[in-house]
Amino acid sequence: DSGVTQTPKHLITATGQRVTLRCSPRSGDLSVYWYQQSLDQGLQFLIQYYNGEERAKGNILERFSAQQFPDLHSELNLSSLELGDSALYFCASSNPAGAGTDTQYFGPGTRLTVL
């Protein structure tokens, strides 16, 4: 158990809908990262938040957005869903003290199926 929690574990929805994925980082971790794992694209970085502020953006679609709240949990919002958005979405957390890279610990993932 990494200490990172994600809900829900599974989500089935229809095209055009909007969903929210939730992540709670490990106790004390300030950084939250979101990744998407799909069969064709592999594991791809979406976005990073550090202590409530967006820090880095990757290949995140405009239909997707995220935020990190004062209690450090994060939500990833996916809207106008398409079939191709079906994937496993991971949240990871770390606690970088400054420059350098800390280890990212991953949650169990949320499997999104768009029908």
Partner 1 sequence: AQKVTQAQTEISVVEKEDVTLDCVYETRDTTYYLFWYKQPPSGELVFLIRRNSFDEQNEISGRYSWNFQKSTSSFNFTITASQVVDSAVYFCALSEADGAQKLVFGQGTRLTINP
The CB density around residue 110, as the number of other CB atoms within 10 Å, is: 21
* Residue among 18 and 56 whose Cβ is closer to partner 1: 56
- The reply on whether position 43 binds partner 1 by CB under 8 A is yes
Which span sits near partner 1 by CB under 8 A: 11-19, 36-44, 60-68, 70-78? 36-44
CA distance 62 to 52: 20
CA distance 97 to 86: 34
CB of 16 to partner 1, least distance (A): 27
Among 22, 26, 73, 111, which residue sits at the site for partner 1 (rule: CB under 8 A)?
Answer: 111
Among 13, 45, 60, 95, which residue sits at the site for partner 1 (rule: CB under 8 A)?
Answer: 45
Q: Could you give the dihedral angle defined by the CA atoms of residues 82, 72, 68 and 3, in that order, rounded to the nearest 10 degrees?
A: -20
Q: How far is CA 79 from CA 16, 18, 20, 50, 108, in A?
A: 7, 4, 9, 23, 22
Enumerate binding residues for partner 1 (CB under 8 A).
2, 31, 33, 35, 42-45, 48, 55-56, 58, 88, 90, 92, 94, 96, 99-109, 111
